Amino acid sequence: MADPISTERLTLRPLRADDAEALFALFANWQVIRRLSTPPWPYTLADAHSFIGSRLNRDLTDTSFAILLGDALVGAIDVRMNAPAQLQRGPGPNLGYWLGQPYWGRGYMTEAARGFVARIFAARLGDIIYSGAFADNAASLRVQEKLGFARDGETTLYSKPRGGDFPHVNTKLTRSAFEARGK
């Protein structure tokens, strides 16, 4: 199992089975989930248990980490080497994340993603990390921009929670661009 990651204010560690209720409490929020492509809506506690169960005992190449502020779960971040076909733009890891609405606007996601991206590059999983966000998710695109992600085209992507195709901005981050920002 992957080691925890510590940042100035946060700890990132692999999700555990006992995170399901805390994850559900934050994630079953339309303002959070509508910005994502794959979760069901409405989101249930059973969905949280199923998601965490599918992510247990994985290595850094395909895992989800809890983002903790003190002992409180505030969000999650993951990397997938085998992203859904509509997201995969080249060989390399694909970054995804979400943060509970009470924690928005405090820089937590940028801090968490910076630590996680540093771990991905340190693990030599590739020299490019792919990500993106729906075009109407300016906050997520801003997080990526702060880390050095560059826009890499636009497409449409199906959003299961919203039940349709929506404009999606693809992004990518090179190792050299990330290192130039001082990690």
pLDDT value, residue 81: 79
What the chain holds in terms of domains, given with CATH numbers, is 5-180 (3.40.630.30)
Residue whose pair of structure tokens reads 């395909």 in the numeric block: 62
pLDDT in tens, the chain (183 residues): 379 999 999 999 999 999 999 999 999 999 999 999 999 999 999 999 999 988 887 665 667 999 999 999 999 999 887 655 545 566 678 999 999 999 999 999 999 999 999 999 998 888 999 999 999 999 999 999 999 999 999 999 999 999 999 999 999 999 999 999 875
Whether the CB-CB separation of 108 and 10 falls below 8 Å is answered with yes
Region for 107 from its dihedrals, namely left if φ exceeds 0, alpha if ψ lies in -120 to 50, beta otherwise: left
Tell me which DSSP letter residue 145 carries.
H
At residue 126, the pLDDT reads 84
C-alpha distance from residue 26 to each of 42, 102, 125 (Å): 13, 8, 30
Helix (H, G, I), strand (E, B) or coil at 63: strand
Residue 1: what pLDDT? Answer: 39
